[in-house]
Structure 1
Amino acid sequence: MKSCDVVTFGEAMAMFIADHPGELHQVEHFTRALAGAETNVSIGLARLGYKMRWISKVGNDPFGTFIIESLRKEGVDVDMVLTDDRHPTGFQLKSKAESGDPQVHYFRKGSAASMLSADDVDPASFTSARHLHLTGIPLAVSASMRELAFEALRIMKQAGRTVSFDVNLRPPLWNSQAEMIEVVNSLACQADWVLPGIGEGKLLTGRSEPRDIAGFYLEQGVKLVAVKLGPEGAYYRTPTEEGFVEGFRVRAVDTVGAGDGFAVGLISGLLEGLTVRDAVRRGNAIGALAVTAAGDSEGLPTRPQLEAFISASCIHP
């Protein structure tokens, strides 16, 4: 098994973005793109020069081929992606929002990715990486993906690797809010770096302030909590330090993918040995760039683009 820097897994979908604003049932023309939190992170890290591995299942259909080819073009290792002849690749429709979050409608029930299980994945696919990135989405998609998430975490922690977890709550995919909170927190408390949004943190912990939300996870042994505050920036806390890092001012085109961009910046910064504060600042920068394009990953920068954006900004550490 060839080595890589970061490994992740999850469900990718073909995405059709409305070319014009309006209700989805009224839209006649769409532009195809790629969707998936874990694929966004994979593309973002690959563009920064990291060796990325993405694990999943896709259907034996044009959408599945599109996903594999798109990631391969970005330099992401897709050798561990399986093809399922019986189940289709999921897809989604997304509105063109004039302000706020776009409307998204999913067609993913019974998808090939939802059939992915721990039995499908060689443990070496994980341990040959330096770092594992997880999100809360596979925990909600199916029981088998949930089992794989906990197994991947166990394997990597046992091997002494670091694990990041972006909670990425998807309430409609869960049987109940109580189940969602219990399962997501169970995994979060075993991760090294936890990345909730402020609204997610309030729901998961019952605490309202970023410092207290972070404290909830630090009390369970988490090493770093970064609470995303949207355009305002992010708050971070470790057992020995804490702080707030202001966000970057940009014109938002599509807010989807901002959290994934933040994860790209934080993970890459920490793996490169940046201070926590500087890693969070990079996360804010990439999160800001992510919202400047209509697709979920189209705004994610290359390293020269990132450096130019930060240099041009009037915000200082």
Structure 2
Amino acid sequence: MSKKIITIGEAMGLFVADEVGLLEDVKKYTRSIAGAELNVSVGLARLDHDVYYATKVGNDPIGKSIRNFIEKEKIHSDFVYQSNEYLTGLQIKEKTTEGDPDVASFRKGSAATHLSLNTIQKVDFSTFNYVHLSGIFLALSPKTKAVSYYFAEEGRRNGACITFDPNLRPNLWGSKEDMIKNINDLAAKCDVVLPGISEGHILTGLDKPEDIADFYLKGNVKVVVIKLGEQGAFIKRKEMEGKYIKGFKVDKIVDTVGAGDGFAVGVISGLAEGLSLEESVVRGNAIGAIQLLSTSDNEGLPTRDRLDKFINLSQH
């Protein structure tokens, strides 16, 4: 039986600069769609998983295009709600030749920030095997914070595996201390935690992957996977030795945005298909590397055939 997966987040209109330069100087942009959890949903659906995505968009052209995109990608839109009162959030992204691109977000008070518990309680968590959350939706508003906790707690109560990507966005929080407290509090309610190494340092004050993993494994967390960029990843389960999983070499990085989401796709899809944690993280490393080759946040996410070819070519 197919494993059902649900994610929740904010989907936004994305305008990617067509030329290198400061965002305020760029005249032409290509329209796309952004959202960390939506990227994960797209990646899972392209690997033929049964995926539901929950969000709220405005009754505006961007919101309508997002709903159309979700349905075109064969993601279930049962929990994509529409607001007549609030607009869909937007992002504009720099075109860069190296490093992380500058991204400007216009999301304060957006439709997604008004997605409330009253609306989302229609979700029947007994039908889902996996629930994926990120620290972004947690940060958007008191309403989305309550919804994030509800998804973690109800998902776990109904036997789902809860995966969590901290996805730190300091500018969305009132303070660094507030961000650390809330992210770590939600992480403790999840089964699989997926921080980057620099995120792990910010959240725990620790430097070594082993120590960061142990920090989260003290509670209910069962598995910690720490992203190490081109070096791959470090994995650790409760009461077991940690292990490094080698990454994939990418000759020319086009855009770093979405690589962490691709990594999450690999880990979640692998676990849902019954692969070992090690095999799932190899897949995560591969999809993360593939994402570095595309300017869009999600257009580069591979089909199963492309993923298999990439892994086979990289290992020979």
Counterparts of 1:124 and 1:151 in 2: how far apart (Å)?
A: 11
Matched residue count: 313
Deviation (angstroms), 1:90? 0.5
SS of the counterpart of 2:235?
strand
Which position in structure 2 is the counterpart of 1:118? 117
Residue 288 of structure 1 is matched in structure 2 by: 289
Q: Is it true that 1:309 corresponds to 2:313 in the alignment?
A: no
Between the aligned partners of 1:138 and 1:126, the Cα distance in structure 2 is: 19
- The AA in structure 2 aligned to 1:293 is S
Q: Would you say the 8 A contact 2:126–2:159 is kept in 1?
A: no
Compute the TM-score of the two structures, normalised by the length of structure 2.
0.97
Q: Is the aligned partner of 1:200 residue 2:204?
A: no
- In the aligned structure 1, how far is the partner of 2:305 from the partner of 2:244? 26
SS in 1 for 2:6: strand
RMSD: 1.1
- Give the deviation of 1:276 after TM superposition: 1.0
Equivalent residue, structure 2, for 1:266: 267
The answer to whether the Cα contact below 8 Å between 1:289 and 1:301 also exists between their aligned partners in 2 is yes
Could you say which residue in structure 2 is the equivalent of 1:140? Answer: 139
Show structure 1 runs of 4+ deviating over 4 A: none
Question: Partner residue of 2:230?
Answer: 231
Give distance in 1, aligned partners of 2:141 and 2:170: 13
- Shift in Å at residue 190 of structure 1? 1.2
Describe how 1:5-44 pairs up with structure 2 within 5 A.
Answer: 5-44=4-43
Asked if the contact 1:123–1:155 (Cα under 8 Å) also holds between the matched residues in 2, the reply is no
Give the drift of 1:66: 0.7
The Cα offsets for residues 6-49 of structure 1, whole Å up to 9 and x where unpaired, read as 00111010000000100011101100111000100000000000
1:23-102 matched pairs, under 5 angstroms:
23-102=22-101
Which residue does 2:162 correspond to in 1?
163
What is the CA–CA distance in structure 1 between the aligned matches of 2:197 and 2:208, rounded to whole Å?
A: 8
Structure 2 distance, partners of 1:207, 1:182, is: 15
Q: Deviations over 1:245-279 (max 9, x none)?
A: 11111221000000000000000111111111111
Aligned to 1:244: 244
How much identity, in percent, do the aligned residues show?
47
Deviations along 1:101-150, one digit per CA (max 9) or x if unpaired, are 00100111110000001111135343321110000001110000000010
- Do the aligned residues in 1 keep the contact of 2:129 with 2:159 (CA within 8 Å)? no
**5+ unaligned residues in a row in structure 1: which ranges?**
none
Conserved 8 A contact 1:134-1:163: yes
Other-structure match for 1:174 = 173
Q: Give 3-state SS (helix, strand or coil) of 2:67's partner.
A: helix
Q: Is the 8 A contact 1:227 1:236 kept in 2?
A: yes
What SS is found at the alignment partner of 1:154?
helix
SS at match of 1:309: helix
Compute the displacement of 1:221 (Å). Answer: 2.5
* Separation in structure 1 between the aligned mates of residue 199 and residue 127 of structure 2, nearest angstrom: 32
Quote the offset at 1:242 in angstroms. 2.1
* SS at structure 2 position matched to 1:95: strand
**Aligned equivalents of 2:166 and 2:306: distance in 1?**
28
Equivalent residue number for residue 279 of structure 1:
280
Which secondary structure state, in structure 2, belongs to the residue aligned with residue 145 of structure 1?
Answer: helix
Question: Aligned equivalents of 1:138 and 1:132: distance in 2?
Answer: 14
Q: What is residue 187 of structure 1 aligned with on the other side? A: 186
Does the aligned pair in 2 maintain the 1:48–1:303 contact within 8 Å? yes
Asked if the contact 1:7/1:126 (under 8 Å) is kept, the reply is no
Cα distance in 2 between the residues matched to 1:266 and 1:173 = 26
Measure, in 2, the Cα distance between the counterparts of 1:206 and 1:25. 36
